[in-house]
Amino acid sequence: MQHRGGNAVQEPRILVDCLLATCTSAIAIVVLRRYAVLFGLVDHPSKRKQHVGKIPLVGGLAIFMGVTVGAACYGQFHWFEKSIISTAALLTFIGALDDRFDLSVRGRLFIQAASVVTVIAVSGVYIHTLGTLFGHDIELEWLGPPVTIIAIIGLVNAFNMMDGIDGLAGSLALVSIAAIAMFVGTSTLRSSLVLLILLAMASLPYLLANLGVMGNKIFLGDAGSMLIGYLLAWTLIRMSQVPESNLSPVDVLWCVGLPVCDTLSVMCRRMSQGKSPFKPDRGHIHHILMRAGLGPRSTLVVLIAIAVSIAFVGATLRDRVPSPGARLATFIVLMFAYGLFTTRAWLKQEAAQHEKDLRAQPASIPRGVRAATRPAANTSQPPINAAHREQVAAPPERPSRALGTARESTTTVR
């Protein structure tokens, strides 16, 4: 009875902590937005980033400040939560440096891996089991730490790559947090749930500012996308490794289904073309939808609906299909179907754009050369000799145009 009463007493306190996280994030946005230009934390328009004017890259810093203040006021976190918040501070700082100076991919990956290793060493939390699959308990043993490093770095960069239009990364984070709460229910891992709620509440002011509802627009930045992916990844791992949390390792995939499917399909497509998996292009699902004619807001709504649907399907399967192996097989089929659909759509759009560029190419040829290459009306006219043919050289290849078809003040190529 005392335990229940203590929880009841703590409920108003948690609400206050969440409100503090929200207010701190909102105040930080107002303050940081004023000094963003001074510190160089602004996003400039470019071929990859097609927006209007200089946009402050302070969303991630504001979210981190909100989470930190809320966590300090809560004051009941264990070593695990304290370690991931501490290393998240390092990642947020590195992300801000990347926003300012454009750090190398190897440097970012090294810092991310070092942060994961630090948490494993301090808390002892890592992926030690994949659960019971097809009648066998899959224990990773010594493979646990390396698999954990790969999984966390993968989800961190998945959210970074999905941060391509206004509100997308933040909205997908909220969907994932809601999905985790739906899977976990009344879990005993109270502190991990509180951390996720603080993250959600601190993200709300950013979403309003990013969508232009709260003053001038701001962007999440690499600091924010890395922070969101990092906190989500660690919380999912922690909950999936504790039986009483009701979240199996297979269920984790359904909570972050859209970022996982999109990132894996894009990376596989890039590597199949001999490119780096981190080389930016316009092959993500939000680029495909916008090139198909949807606007940024319509694309955002569609992708949120897809993410919610994936989580709902996962929760339904968890209740009706007791076999984790069957649920894993279903997710793999979904992932392959997603990859085939997006790859086919992207190839068709690339082919259409290439054909359009070829049709527009003769317009760049000088008038005199274009007249020389025009077919003669009189068939008796002598053919062009070799010397003249050398003068009629092929026009230089035109650089490919921006591929977005909708208003792209909100679009980033990742």
Q: Residues marked as binding?
A: 160, 222
Q: What is Dmax (Cα atoms) for the chain?
A: 105
Distance CA 80, CA 124 (A): 8
Q: Which residues are annotated as a binding site for Mg(2+)?
A: 160, 222
The pair of structure tokens assigned to 360 is: 């527009």
Distance CA 139, CA 190 (A): 26
The pair of structure tokens assigned to 395 is: 């026009």
Query: Could you give the angle at the alpha carbon of 275 between the alpha carbons of 150 and 355, nearest 5°?
Result: 135
Distance CA 223, CA 175 (A): 20
The rounded Cα 409 to chain-centroid distance in angstroms is 18
Distance CA 24, CA 21 (A): 5
Residues 335, 153, 84, 170, Cα dihedral to 10°: -50
Question: Which has the closest alpha carbon to 115: 147, 142, 70, 153?
Answer: 153
Q: C-alpha distances in angstroms, 286 versus 71, 172, 296?
A: 33, 13, 8
| Residue 129 host element (H or E) | strand 129-133
**How many other C-beta atoms are found inside a 10 Å radius of the C-beta of residue 334?**
17
